[in-house]
Amino acid sequence: PCHLAGWWENDLGSKMQVFKVDNDGTFSGEYYTAVSSAKKPIQPSPLIGFQHLDEDGNCTFGFTVNWKKFSDSTAVFVGQCFNGDDGKEVLHTSWLLREKVDSEPDDWKATR
């Protein structure tokens, strides 16, 4: 089975640490992004999520990152864990980022 607890790194150099996955699949951790358009310096950001605990090990999961320390945005990630041909676990994810805008007419440009 896939074990999300531990350190993960993506192709852009961002890192995530999942502290522990509870028996119900709940987990928390910190996200260390390497990419930001914020004007403030990047800082580690808290994350919280859920892992669907499957018997076959190819689990799905989702988590939210609150960039509150340096940005007015929130991101959500969904993905699945796979056991690669080399035996290493690999995460494939998709994400949405919501930035704060000043007015409802600007809503169209708030989500990437």
Task: Determine the pLDDT at residue 40.
Answer: 82
- In terms of Cα–Cα distance, which of 22, 21, 33 is closest to 70? 33
Q: What's the rounded mean pLDDT across residues 44-58?
A: 85
Q: Structure tokens of 81?
A: 């864990």
Q: Is the pLDDT of residue 75 over 70?
A: yes
Q: What residue spans define the domains of the chain?
A: 6-106
Q: Is the pLDDT of residue 56 over 80?
A: no
Q: Across 1-112, where does the E strand assignment appear?
A: 6-9, 15-21, 26-32, 45-51, 60-66, 73-83, 89-99
Distance of CA 32 to the CA centre of its chain: 10
Q: What's the rounded mean pLDDT across residues 59-73?
A: 91
Least reliable range by pLDDT among 23-32, 35-44, 97-106: 35-44
Q: Is the pLDDT of residue 57 over 70?
A: no
Q: Which one is the CATH code of 6-106: 2.40.128.30, 3.20.20.150, 3.30.70.370, 2.70.70.10?
A: 2.40.128.30
Strand order of the sheet with strand 26-32?
A: 6-9, 15-21, 26-32, 45-51, 60-66, 73-83, 89-99
